[in-house]
Structure 1
Amino acid sequence: MRKLALLLAFAASPALATGLEIEIAGEGANGTITIDLLEDVAPNHAARIAELAEQGAYDDVVFHRVIDGFMAQTGDVEFGKFGSDMRRAGMGGSDMPDLKAEFSDLPFERGTVGMARSQNPDSANSQFFIMFAPGAFLNGQYTVVGQVTGGMDVVDAIKRGKGRNGAVLGQPDRMVTVRVTE
């Protein structure tokens, strides 16, 4: 029933014009995922992700926080570049201002893409996460910005982190290229 409600919620949304094609490589995942950005639900967040992708800012950014059964987080364009000092990965963002929250009634389900933020609801910037499983406790607390439409098997293969915070040790998987699609 929950899956049907999610599908109906996304189907009721106006046509989606922008998406992402992300090539992922690493010790865990190797392949392509596609994401529809929900411009009608979170226009400012979708525009930010598309802008950063068009600039190439997400290319070679790692999945720095990956919690089995929960989500995979990436998008730290400041400290999360592959080959850099990973000790600060997850602490940065872009040089653009933080975004005001765009909360909706869309639920966090498997394949949902949400914007990462600090405790401040209006602090999302460049980082985002992809859900491995439903996370109803996030509903109405984080901005839903997209939905995986292809390659969920690649998402499932992303190298998992360790400990409560899911910090990825050693060589994390990365987004090799992120392209905007129409």
Structure 2
Amino acid sequence: MTIYLIRHTEVAVGRSVCYGGSDVELADNYLAQRLNLTTHLPHSGPDVVFSSPLARCRQLAEDLAMNGQLMPEEVSPPVHDVTLQFDDRLREYHFGDWEMTPWNDIPREALDTWMTDFVNLAPHNGDSFQDVFNRVSAFWRDEVLPLANVEKPITVYIVSHGGVIRALLCLFLELPLQNAYRLHLDYGAVTKLAVQNGTYTVAYINR
């Protein structure tokens, strides 16, 4: 089984605003970034696409499931039938009361306290990184691992968010959760993994 972890493309709110669980719009460069990321995906397309239900991932997942490798003005049917499934467990880290607040407007003391132990501490009404990891792990166990037992080779796309993909990589690589943000992930980044006969391998990260 080959797995591509795909981060959504850039969003319209920019990097200065704290957003995670909020449903924000994509930036105007969506089509260009989509075309760029598909250069790192197989021409044959996926067999299964899992996605966060948030709009910034939903758009990309639907396009990829419908053979979105093509130029925007081109239209073509999928290479084969693709299963597309949206899963709430792939939603981004929720920042609670900080959602949609400029980072500079969040009290410095509150940010510093949270950052000292973001794995276990959560913004008020939000997630801790442990919360994210727990639900991502359940998704992986329930939805992805069973596909490794399918007789034919299968290609899986997981379209999600920076926090979720880092949680998946911590799970895959058995990394301590406090090291998750040492993994740099750009908007529209693709990471390629493989699971075969119980062996886990990483082909590349953040292309």
Normalized against structure 1, the TM-score is what?
A: 0.30
Greater share of residues in helix: 2
